[in-house]
Amino acid sequence: MAIVRAKDARKMTDDEKEKKLRELTLELAKEKSNVAIGGAVKNPGRLREMRRTIARLKTTMAK
């Protein structure tokens, strides 16, 4: 998944935002479940970036 910056999120259509949001939410859930069962995180910074990207998308969708 690529990082979505705020200015890029503003340029996206609502459908694109929703699709990206679903993809990121699913990926984040998979990573969290992997950690919950005792797996190691390949890239801990990736989890943080996914959470922030989800927040960016939700913020731009609300405006």
Instruction: List pLDDT tens digits, range 52-62.
Output: 999 999 999 99
Using the Cα atoms of residue 54, residue 57, residue 60 and residue 62 in order, give the sign of their dihedral. Answer: negative
Q: Which amino acid is at 19?
A: K
Q: Give percent of the chain with pLDDT exceeding 70.
A: 98
Q: What is the DSSP letter of 12?
A: S
Q: Can you say how many angstroms the Cα of residue 47 is from the centroid of all Cα atoms in its chain?
A: 8
Strands (E), 1-63: none
Q: How far is CA 33 from the centre of its chain?
A: 15
Average pLDDT for the chain: 92
Q: Would you call 63 helix, strand, or coil by DSSP? A: coil
Q: Which structure tokens are listed for 43?
A: 């890239």
The structure's pTM equals 0.87
